[in-house]
Amino acid sequence: MLVLYRKYRPKVFSDILGQDVVSETLKNAGRLDRLAHAYLFYGSKGSGKTTTARILAKLANCQKRQTDEAFKKTGEPCNECQACVEIDNGRALDVIEIDAASNRGIDEIRNLKESIRVSPAALSRKVYIIDEAHQLTKDAFNALLKTLEEPPTHAMLILVTTELEKMPATIVSRTQRFHFKRLPLETIIGKLKSIAKLEKINISDSAIELIAASGGGSFRDAESLLDQISSLARTNTDKTQTNTDNFTQDNINKTETKNK
């Protein structure tokens, strides 16, 4: 079974909740064909940074946009063409996600610099998403500077971080920056409720509110918690219906600690 936060990951900008400035600006850039070559997405965890990076990768590569002027005006990827589908499935060779937490050093950046020069294999734009970018070493950042300033025209770099203050100013100034806000509880509650409805999870409003609050403003944490609690309830109660009404703050706390 697909975990909830993957299943309900937004596929277009308009599905991203609470980050209107980011979504509107990127959609406009898409409409006008003014996509930048280097972006920095920063802000709180579970607020949509990686999700937005993948949608942007689709926008840069969507084949329907390239042929259909009317569609292009939406500023969204089509999610139907081969490029969009492959990126969604994580199968696109030209969309490269690097976890800087485990690839921190200068060697990894040297590899990146070599590979970024090579034209894309199938898509029109090679997109590098560097997650946890603040974890790169000083030398790695230095090695990245030149590439960031002038990436090949066939490439796009998206740096992603929760800790802007740990990023060197020289790097930050070479990117177009987008701030992801911590999401209001109401927004998270709203999405959890609609997921519960679609998944036929029978859960009370107060339990949903507790789950949202325990997520601490992170959509991913809240959605994972809902996932765990509903599968726990599924094994505990009758198999046909998920009943989570008897979940209390105490149980949620236990689930959370187990998860850490």
Ligand X SMILES: Nc1ncnc2c1ncn2[C@@H]1O[C@H](COP(=O)(O)OP(=O)(O)OP(=O)(O)O)[C@@H](O)[C@H]1O
Q: Which is nearer to ligand X, 12 or 143 (CB)?
A: 12
Interface with ligand X (CB under 6 A), residue from 26, 30, 37, 49: 49
Q: Quick one: CA torsion of 62, 63, 64, 70, rounded to 10 degrees?
A: 80
Cα-Cα end-to-end distance for the chain: 21
Residues 6+ apart with CB under 8 A from 92: 57, 61, 83, 86, 122, 123
Backbone region of residue 79 per phi and psi (left: phi > 0; alpha: psi in -120 to 50; beta: other values)? left
**Residue closest to 51 by CA, chosen among 88, 76, 92, 98:** 88
Per-residue x/- track, 212-231, ligand X (CB under 6 A): -------xx--x--------
Amino acid in position 19: Q
Q: Which does 48 bind (CB under 5 to 8 A by kind): Mg ion, ligand X, Zn ion, none?
A: ligand X
Contact at 8 Å (CB) between 5 and 219?
yes
C-beta of 142: minimal distance to ligand X in Å?
25
Binding partner at 62 among Mg ion, ligand X, Zn ion, none, C-beta below 5 to 8 Å by kind: Zn ion
Nearest distance from C-beta of residue 45 to ligand X, angstroms: 3
Binding characters for Mg ion, 33-52, by CB under 5 A (x = yes) = ----------------xx--
Q: How far is the CB of 240 from ligand X (least distance, A)?
A: 26
* Cross-strand pairs, 201: 242
Closest approach, Cβ 49 to Mg ion, in A, equals 5
CB of 52 to Mg ion, least distance (A): 9
* CA dihedral over 101, 104, 108, 113, signed as positive or negative: positive
Of 64 and 154, CB closest to Zn ion: 64
Q: Which residues 8-47 are close enough to bind ligand X by CB under 6 A?
A: 8-10, 16-19, 45-47
Q: What residues make contact with ligand X under the rule CB under 6 A?
A: 5, 8-10, 16-19, 45-51, 162, 180, 191, 219-220, 223
